[in-house]
């Protein structure tokens, strides 16, 4: 890169040259769930992993939240970071709902999408009722019951035997605030159906799904794959709803391949010392 100052052209290297990837966490998690991506992918992309409002170390503002708020929060963060070129948006589960909403509102900000363990459709009536019951339970008893009920379903049976991983995920979930959880439940309940928009997505899209996802079935990933023109589908064996944590190498390799194709750069992984298997 060069910059013309008054009397000479200065060349410089700046790792912020890399395309930015925004990592949007799922419910009721926070950016800590991206630990293994922050660790392994930072040579290949600039990574920005926000804690959504009410989650992690972000302020626990009262709800209800909406997908629009989450999208606007992310656009505001990019503005704050002075990132004006289009970014890769990678969202897992609820993060995928937000990624699709962000694309709807800010298509010019998006260079590519990674939709992990997610779906494009809205909640069914039954699903909406479930969100309300969950919010009422959290209001009455705190987040404990939700965490306890969700944890075994988040991981594939094989990953659930990994005590360290279970504890890691549990700790993140236990950090979720009552306001954040209730706010996010409302945002998910009210999210629009993104299925009709899929045909209009004109950026490269990588869909990643765990073969053993017990929260969102693989058929949802396949439906998105059918509907998005420039899409790739990677189904990861022995992974449930958190494939980025359960099968780190498979997940990261799929992402690196996708970024290489997107940026047209060969052997990014090689140059950066990352090894394929």
The phi and psi torsions of 92 (rounded to 5 degrees) equal -110, 125
Rounded distance between C-alpha atoms, residue 71 and residue 75, angstroms: 6
Site for ligand MLT contains 27 (CB under 6 A): yes
Q: Is 23 in the site for ligand MLT (CB under 6 A)?
A: no
70 belongs to the binding site for ligand MLT (CB under 6 A):
no
Nearest Cα to 81, choosing from 34, 30, 47, 38?
47
Could you give the CA distance from residue 189 to residue 244 in angstroms, rounded to a whole number? 25
For position 93 contacting ligand MLT by CB under 6 A, the verdict is yes
- Residue from 188, 221, 224, 231 binding ligand MLT (CB under 6 A): 188
Q: How many residues bind ligand MLT (CB under 6 A)?
A: 7
Give yes or no for a contact between 205 and 115, defined as CB atoms under 8 angstroms apart.
yes
Q: Is 170 left (phi over 0), alpha (psi -120 to 50) or beta?
A: alpha
Asked if residue 215 binds ligand MLT (CB under 6 A), the reply is yes
Work out whether 94 is an interface residue with ligand MLT (CB under 6 A): yes
Nearest distance from C-beta of residue 159 to ligand MLT, angstroms: 15
**Residue nearer to ligand MLT on the CB measure, 113 or 259:** 113
Does position 151 interact with ligand MLT (CB under 6 A)? The reply is: no
**Cβ 66 to ligand MLT shortest distance, Å:** 15
User: Are the C-beta atoms of residues 262 and 111 closer than 8 Å to each other?
Assistant: yes
- Nearest residue (CB) to ligand MLT, 90 versus 256: 90
Q: Contact positions toward ligand MLT, by CB under 6 A?
A: 26-27, 93-94, 188, 215, 241
């Amino acid at each position: 890169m060069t910059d013309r100052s008054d009397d000479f052209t200065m060349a410089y290297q700046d790792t912020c040259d890399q395309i930015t990837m925004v990592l949007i966490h799922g419910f009721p998690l926070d950016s800590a769930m991206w630990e293994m991506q922050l660790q392994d992918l930072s040579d290949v992309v600039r990574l920005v992993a926000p804690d959504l409002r009410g989650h992690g170390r972000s302020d626990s503002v009262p709800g209800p939240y909406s997908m629009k708020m989450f999208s606007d929060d992310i656009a505001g963060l990019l503005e704050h970071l002075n990132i004006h070129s289009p970014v890769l948006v990678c969202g897992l589960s609820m993060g995928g709902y937000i990624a699709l909403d962000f694309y709807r509102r800010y298509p010019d900000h998006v260079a590519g999408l990674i939709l992990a363990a997610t779906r494009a459709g809205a909640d069914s009536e039954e699903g909406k009722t479930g969100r309300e019951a969950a919010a009422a339970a959290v209001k009455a008893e705190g987040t404990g019951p939700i965490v306890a009920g969700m944890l075994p379903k988040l991981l594939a049976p094989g990953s659930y035997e990994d005590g360290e991983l279970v504890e890691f995920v549990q700790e993140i979930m236990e950090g979720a605030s009552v306001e954040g959880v209730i706010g996010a439940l409302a945002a998910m309940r009210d999210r629009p159906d993104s299925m009709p928009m899929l045909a209009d997505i004109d950026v490269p899209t990588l869909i990643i799904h765990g073969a053993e996802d017990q929260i969102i079935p693989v058929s949802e990933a396949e439906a998105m794959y059918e509907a998005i023109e420039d899409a790739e589908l990677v189904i990861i064996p022995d992974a449930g709803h958190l494939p980025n944590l359960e099968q780190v190498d498979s997940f990261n390799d799929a992402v690196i391949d996708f970024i290489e194709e997107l940026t047209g750069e060969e052997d990014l992984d090689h140059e950066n010392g990352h090894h394929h298997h």
